[in-house]
Each structure stands twice: as structure tokens, then as C-alpha cells.
Amino acid sequence: MRKVGWFDIYVDDMNRAQTFYETVLETSLAKMDDPNDPSALMRTFVDDYQSHGAGGALVKLEQAKPGPGGSMVYFSCEDCSVEEARVVAAGGHIARPKFSIGDHGFVSLIIDTEGNMVGLHSQH
């Protein structure tokens, strides 16, 4: 099986990042503990392992910093222009507005409040 099973999005300011993702994706993130690193701050996108596809979390660690150029995470949407429209008001930036990727649908590339680039993907 070759699918994403989990992802981490590194952040500097957990409250700011949590507010950004909850606003843009209209979801709630839950506190999560790391049993191996009690200093880690985590907020998970997973509530039932169904509503978000692959599981993942916002993570604040001393040894990992946010920023562009790392792995790309794409959040599935009904129409990515809807979530894109909430980005600026939530404190982020639009790196590339909704564009076609041919038979594979559409993508918007956004920058979150922590400097991470993430994608929004939809079929429409």
C-alpha cells in the first residue's frame, strides 16, 4: 500500500497556526500528546480517521522549523476556491490562485501563518 498515512506541519506559534487551519478548512483540531517528547506541542487534524483522509498534525518542536521547500501537503476540498477565499483573512497568503491541473482537477497554493506552503486540491 502506497498512501500517505500521516503528516506533520511544523509551526512556530501553535495558537496562530491552529486558528489559521481551523478557519481556512472549517474544522477543529484537537490536542495530542507525544509520548516520546513531552515538550512537543501537537494539534491533530484527525478526529475519526475518516473526515480528513490521511492523519496529520500541527507540530511545534525545537529541532524542526516551518518553511517552504519541504514536503507538500494537499488538503482535499469540494472547490478549492472556497478555502482559498478564507486564507488572507486568516492571516495567510495566496502563493498561486486556483489553477487547472488538467484531468486531475484544480489546485490553490497557499502560505500559512508559519511560512509553510500547502496545497488545496479539488475536482471542480
pLDDT at residue 39 tops 60: yes
pTM: predicted TM-score of the whole model, two decimal places: 0.84
For all residues of the chain together, what is the average pLDDT?
88
CATH fold of 6-122 reads 2,3-Dihydroxybiphenyl 1,2-Dioxygenase; domain 1 (3.10.180)
Is residue 79 exposed (0-12), middle (13-18) or buried (19+ Cβ within 10 Å)? middle
Which percentage of the chain shows pLDDT scores above 70? 90
Q: What is the mean pLDDT of residues 50-54?
A: 61
- Report which of residues 61 and 20 the model is more confident about: 20
Cα–Cα distance measured from residue 59 to residue 17, given in angstroms and rounded to the nearest whole number: 10
Is the pLDDT at 88 greater than 90, yes or no?
Answer: yes
Whole-number Å distance between alpha carbons of 98 and 33: 35
51 has pLDDT over 90: no
Q: Of 52 and 22, which is predicted with more confidence?
A: 22
Nearest of 15, 14, 29, 12 to residue 75 by alpha carbon = 29
Name the least confident of 38-52, 61-75, 106-120.
Answer: 38-52
